[in-house]
Amino acid sequence: DVKVTQSSRYLVKRTGEKVFLECVQDMDHENMFWYRQDPGLGLRLIYFSYDVKMKEKGDIPEGYSVSREKKERFSLILESASTNQTSMYLCASSGQTSGTDTQYFGPGTRLTVL
Amino acid sequence: GENVEQHPSTLSVQEGDSAVIKCTYSDSASNYFPWHKQELGKRPQLIIDIRSNVGEKKDQRIAVTLNKTAKHFSLHITETQPEDSAVYFCAARSYGNNRLAFGKGNQVVVIP
């Protein structure tokens, strides 16, 4: 059973703070993704990675960066948090060990920036 | 890039009736179409998917149909139950790509 975990369920930060959101998967998946979910806007892709140290911009990368130093871990970084980054952040992974196509999601981190 | 649209945004159905959600996509090279269900407060989970070499796929009360010519695909839920109440997301993946393009989601409400 694929397990994708995220470091926090709820997070409250101040404007201008540096924020780290971490995601870990235990299925040796090559691909990892970060989405943000906002009401009426669905799931929007921020960044994704298809291998260690590789990253690709998604549809809304501005204000974010990512790090993938190990295969199982994918971090999302908000260099200087702003109030418009208040959102639900979802991590997902997919890979050969579970059929490549299916994306498995983490439980989400609800981030509030004050 | 791929653009996926979902209609309607909200759907209310009586328990026992059928629900149908339609999605359209823009990239004719897309070859994989999953549907995810997200219950309130929970993570999205894959419920069914279809590939471009198949026109229809069924799994108990849910089915997905694909019309490649018209570039649309639909989720059909029969004999709806209260536990079917959720947000449903369609998505499409272009050939050679690892990423999915998601629709904005449909809120389905099953009225007991």
Of B59, B46, B97, B53, nearest to A98 by C-alpha is B46
Q: Is the pLDDT of residue A69 over 90?
A: yes
Q: What is the pLDDT of residues B39-56, one digit of tens each?
A: 999 999 999 999 988 899
Residues of A in contact with B102 (CB under 8 A): 35, 42-45
Query: Quick one: pLDDT at residue A96?
Result: 80
Judged by CB atoms closer than 8 Å, whether chains meet at B98 and A48 is answered as yes
Contact A89, A111 (CB under 8 A): yes
Q: Cβ A90–B89 below 8 Å, yes or no? A: no
Q: What is the pLDDT of residues B13-33, one digit of tens each?
A: 999 999 999 999 999 999 999
d(CA B85, CA B28): 31
The Cα–Cα gap between A36 and B17 comes to: 33
A1: pLDDT strictly greater than 70: no
Question: What confidence score (pLDDT) does residue A55 get?
Answer: 95
Q: What is the pLDDT of residue B97?
A: 78
Q: Kindly report the average pLDDT of chain A as a whole number.
A: 94
What's the mean pLDDT in A54-63? 95
d(CA A16, nearest CA chain B) in Å: 28
CB neighbour list of residue B61: distance below 8 Å, 6 or more residues apart: B77, B78, B79
A91 vs B3 pLDDT, higher one: A91
Chain A contact present for B100, CB below 8 A: yes
Q: How far apart are CA A47 and CA A22, in angstroms?
A: 13
The confidence score (pLDDT) of residue A2 equals 67
Residue B102 is predicted with a pLDDT of 94
Considering only residues 4 to 43 of chain A, which have any Cβ-Cβ distance to chain B shorter than 8 Å? Answer: 31, 33, 35, 40-43
Model pLDDT for residues B83-97, shown as the tens digit of each residue: 999 999 999 998 777
For the residues A26-46, what does the mean pLDDT come to?
94
CA distance A43 to chain B (A): 6
Examine the pLDDT at B62 and tell me if it is beyond 70.
Answer: yes
**CA distances to A36, B23, B68, B87 from B107, in Å:** 18, 14, 25, 4
Rounded distance between C-alpha atoms, residue B36 and residue A42, angstroms: 12
Cβ pair A41:B104 closer than 8 A: yes
Q: Average of pLDDT values for A1-17?
A: 92
